[in-house]
Structure 1
């Protein structure tokens, strides 16, 4: 019996590989986004802690230089938070681009797999017809042999 061999199997393999690579790339950018969000959360927590220190310093008798130092550090943290927000936005954009790219790769792979499935169906149909013809010839030969 003849075995099914898809003529475009290498393309199917390539499309599957491209999809796997896109999945890997997406996981990398999702990891980067997670890191950026964690870093932003840490900066916000630091800012909240330093703001609390500043409020406590204004209630207690703390030297003005220390209050100015705390305020300067809070300003520094605010700048860091703004930069980190931009980094998070950039990472979110990268994740969205990765999702679109993966979606495109998945559509390509699905189209080629569907094409392979149709080719397999045609192959099975052709093989069924050939088998039926062979069985018909065998039955005809037996009939003719029995008639003689």
Structure 2
């Protein structure tokens, strides 16, 4: 006889929800990584611009050009500040997705354990049934030989 768990669709649903939560966490981690890469690029742009300004001051550069470069550095600083806020937001999102995934994993584990217990019970009942059949066959043979 085949084991048929009455709540198999619930178990499947919980597994699907867990997989969905894993994908959302993966997506949130990807977004966080992209934000961090953007921040890294902003820092390298700022460093190269500062190096450029320092090398330009050795050469004859107009005050207007220096002011424009300084304005651009200020703009990059604002972008860095904004990007840090974006990273914090992305980190909070990642933590929320982790908590959500943990909840879904626990749900799935509970249902899988319930299924496991039901399977174990089924197997015990199946073994008992088979044993009873074997006992009955042995009794029939014994009675047949006794005649």
Give the shorter-chain TM-score range. over 0.9
Alignment of 1:40-119 (within 5 A): 40-119=39-118
Residues 45-68 of structure 1, C-alpha deviations (whole Å, 9 max, x = no match): 101111112222333321000000
Partner of 2:34: 35
Moved over 4 A (4+): none
Partner of 2:24: 25
Deviation at 1:127, TM superposition (A): 0.7
Residues 23-74 of structure 1, C-alpha deviations (whole Å, 9 max, x = no match): 1111111111111011110011101111112222333321000000000000
Distance 2:75 2:49 in 1: 11
Distance 1:33 1:67 in 2: 35
Alignment of 1:119-138 (within 5 A): 119-138=118-137
Taking structure 2 as the reference length, the TM-score comes to 0.96
Does residue 13 of the first structure (1) align with residue 12 of the second (2)?
yes
Deviation at 1:119, TM superposition (A): 0.7
Distance 2:94 2:49 in 1: 32
Taking structure 1 as the reference length, the TM-score comes to 0.96
Residues 89-140 of structure 1, C-alpha deviations (whole Å, 9 max, x = no match): 1111111111111111111111111111111111101111111111111111
